[in-house]
């Protein structure tokens, strides 16, 4: 286990935002389903993307990654087979995307995973897949075994479950012989992730027709091989916007590599941090952020209510900013965060309260009363990459040092986070505790 010591220095500067993990998962899978030769450029080979690449390799795809150019090449001509063992690591996206894909290919497979992944919900598939021709064998989580070939038809599921289930079906249903329909029985949450899926599908020549309650998906479609590039990650940008907001000196932060026309739902971070009081100006592919009132009490920041239903991954960064903003912030519609790498709501409440904040977890979110400064101390990272990264911003407003456990967890989504934080004048010293 590793521990990171954060300091309160921060001079600002310019960094390139890492590639979007969400987009990369989708582009790699579409390339694999094309049954041709494709390249995916600007790939950050974090642990989650490694899991997806390993999964398609287990299905017969040949993959080669060039670290020097961040280029992933795929030869999917051998996609398929009869049996596969798929290790999803700790990646919920890999698991939930691959289950219906493998079923559509008619491959018998055993899914395995580590950490909290074996305990994350799969109930939607447990109900849907057996009703559509697929045997589903599990003791409640992983390992999971499936066999049989997925059949077309009507797939009914709630819209407030993880959008990963919907994305998995959108990948799989075009491969079936007959037409299918996805019908949502409740309003859709995390819509941005589904929009991103639909956009990547269109890029590879696959379409789904939106309806009043979901999507109609024609069967017999083919994924077209093509070369593609991964866009910058708006969810990771949120951590650095939080640092700009909390910088005691009002340091400027420039974030490059962000598509202004991105369909990532986390692009909403711009408006949310503006609501706190951060100044943000935009250029074609970059943002410039600074806090003009940094020298005032609470840094001139103010709390406000936040509906997290469409932006769950941003809650850690938003909660840190709220903890140091004047007044009350209520984050709500975030109950799915209790089922991430851990209980992310409880983790943030525990960490920030332990550092001197006033944060209470509620049934569906967080209730935060801002304080002008945090004391500092030791916080538990809970083996959660987003908790560890969010607390780097908290360290900027700690009177004494801040130590956070489970520093190694950043490898899941952003292996270069400490490097980029230090490039912006932050202090991050990682201790390997064996």
pLDDT, tens only, 140-187: 789 999 999 999 999 999 998 889 999 999 999 999 999 999 999 999
Tell whether 202 and 274 lie within a shared domain. no
Low-confidence winner among 46-55, 284-293, 336-345, 349-358 (lowest mean pLDDT):
336-345
DSSP assignment string, 283-344: -SSEEEEE-TTTTSGGGG-B---EE-TT-GGGHHHHHHHHHTSBSEEEEES-GGGGGSSS-H
Annotated active-site residue 313? The verdict is yes
Catalytic residue (one of 44, 313, 384, 406): 313
Contact at 8 Å (CB) between 49 and 25? yes
Band (pLDDT 50/70/90 cuts) for residue 120 is confident
- At 285, the pLDDT band (50, 70, 90 cuts) reads confident
- Residue 316 in tokens: 């850690």
CATH number, domain containing residue 47: 3.65.10.10
What is the structure's pLDDT at 131? 96
Tokens of 11: 């001079």
SS percent in the chain: helix, strand, coil, step 5: 35, 25, 40
Do residues 12 and 111 share a domain? Answer: no
**Of the residues 187, 207, 229, which one is the last residue of a structural domain?**
229
Residue the block writes with tokens 């696959």: 206
For 414-434, what is the mean pLDDT?
92
Report the pLDDT value the prediction gives residue 55, as an integer from 0 to 100: 98
Same domain, 187 and 259: no
Note whether 267 and 371 are same-domain residues: yes
Q: Are residues 222 and 301 in the same domain?
A: no
pLDDT of residue 254: 97
Q: Which domain holds residue 182?
A: 21-229
Is residue 291 within 8 Å of residue 280, measured between CB atoms?
no
Mark whether 399 and 291 lie in a shared domain: yes
Do 357 and 315 share a structural domain? yes
Whether residue 69 has pLDDT greater than 60: yes
- Same domain? For 297 and 383 the reply is yes
pLDDT digits (tens, 9 = 90+) for 92-107: 999 999 999 999 999 9
For the record, the structure tokens of 304 come out as: 């406000």
Are 113 and 88 in contact by the 8 Å Cβ rule? The answer is yes
Question: Which class for 71: exposed (0-12), middle (13-18), buried (19 or more C-beta within 10 A)?
Answer: middle
Sequence-ordered strand ranges (E) for 185-300 = 209-210, 214-217, 228-229, 253-256, 279-282, 286-290
- On whether the CB atoms of residues 7 and 403 are closer than 8 A, the answer is no
How confident is the prediction for the chain on average, in pLDDT?
A: 95
Q: Are residues 263 and 147 in the same domain?
A: no
Mean of pLDDT values over 210-221: 97
Closest listed residue to residue 44, CA positions, set 414, 400, 428: 414
Report pLDDT for 433.
66
Measured CA to CA in angstroms, residue 115 lies from 23, 112, 123, 230 at distances of 23, 11, 19, 27
pTM of the model: 0.93
Whether 387 shows a pLDDT value over 70: the answer reads yes
Whether residues 205 and 280 fall in one domain = no
Provide the 3-class DSSP secondary structure of residue 275.
helix
* Residue 50 sits in the same domain as residue 33: yes
Same domain for 309 and 281? Answer: yes
Q: How far apart are CA 48 and CA 53, in angstroms?
A: 9
- Which residue in 341, 331, 340 sits closest to 352, CA to CA? 331
User: In the prediction, which pLDDT does 141 show?
Assistant: 82
Q: End of a domain among 204, 229, 254?
A: 229
Q: In DSSP terms, which residues pair with 368 in a beta bridge?
A: 329, 359
Q: Which band of pLDDT confidence, cut at 50, 70 and 90, is reported for residue 189?
A: confident
Dig out the tokens for 408 from the structure: 């190694």
What whole-number distance in Å separates Cα of residue 45 and Cα of residue 71?
10
pLDDT value for 49 = 98
- DSSP class of residue 126 equals H
Q: Give the whole-angstrom CA distance, residue 97 versus residue 167.
A: 7
Determine the Cα–Cα distance for residues 16 and 303; give it in Å rounded to an integer. 29
Domains in the chain, number: 2
Tell me how far apart the alpha carbons of residues 21 and 313 are, in angstroms, rounded to a whole number.
12
Domain boundary among 201, 229, 257: 229
């Amino acid at each position: 286990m590793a521990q990171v010591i954060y300091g309160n220095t921060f001079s600002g500067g310019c960094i390139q935002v890492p590639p979007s993990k969400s987009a990369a998962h989708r582009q790699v899978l579409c390339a694999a389903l094309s049954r041709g030769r494709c390249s995916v450029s600007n790939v950050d080979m974090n642990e989650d993307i490694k899991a997806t690449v390993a999964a398609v390799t287990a299905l017969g795809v040949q993959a080669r990654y060039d670290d020097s150019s961040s280029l992933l090449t795929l030869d999917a001509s051998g996609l398929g087979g009869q049996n596969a063992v798929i290790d999803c690591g700790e990646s919920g996206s890999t698991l939930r995307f691959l289950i219906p894909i493998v079923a559509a290919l008619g491959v018998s497979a055993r899914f395995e995973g580590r950490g909290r992944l074996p305990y994350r919900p799969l109930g939607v598939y447990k109900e849907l897949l057996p009703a559509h021709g697929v045997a589903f064998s599990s003791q409640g989580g992983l390992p999971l075994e499936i066999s049989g070939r997925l059949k077309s038809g009507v797939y009914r599921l709630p819209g407030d479950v993880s959008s990963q289930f919907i994305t998995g079906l959108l990948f799989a249903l075009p491969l079936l012989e007959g037409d299918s329909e996805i019908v949502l029985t409740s309003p859709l949450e995390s819509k941005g992730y589904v929009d991103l899926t639909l956009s990547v599908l269109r890029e590879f020549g696959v379409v789904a027709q939106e309806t009043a309650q979901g999507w109609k998906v024609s069967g017999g479609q083919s994924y077209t091989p093509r070369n593609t590039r991964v866009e910058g990650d708006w969810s990771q940008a949120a951590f650095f916007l939080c640092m700009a907001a909390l910088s005691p000196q009002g340091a400027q932060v420039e974030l490059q590599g962000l598509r202004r026309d991105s369909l990532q739902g986390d692009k909403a971070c711009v408006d949310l941090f503006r609501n706190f009081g951060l100044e943000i100006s935009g250029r074609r592919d970059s943002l410039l952020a600074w806090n003009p009132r940094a020298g005032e009490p609470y840094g001139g920041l103010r709390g406000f209510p936040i509906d997290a239903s469409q932006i769950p991954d941003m809650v850690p960064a938003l909660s840190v900013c709220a903890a140091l903003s004047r007044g009350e912030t209520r984050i709500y519609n975030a109950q799915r965060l209790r089922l991430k790498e851990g209980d992310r709501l409880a983790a943030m409440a525990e960490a920030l309260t332990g550092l001197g904040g006033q944060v209470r977890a509620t049934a569906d979110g967080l209730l935060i009363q801002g304080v002008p400064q945090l004391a500092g101390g030791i916080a538990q990272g809970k083996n959660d990459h987003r908790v560890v990264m969010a607390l780097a911003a908290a360290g900027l407003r700690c009177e004494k040092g801040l130590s956070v456990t489970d520093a190694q967890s950043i490898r899941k989504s952003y292996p270069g986070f400490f490097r980029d934080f230090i490039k912006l004048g932050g202090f991050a010293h990682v201790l390997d505790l064996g």
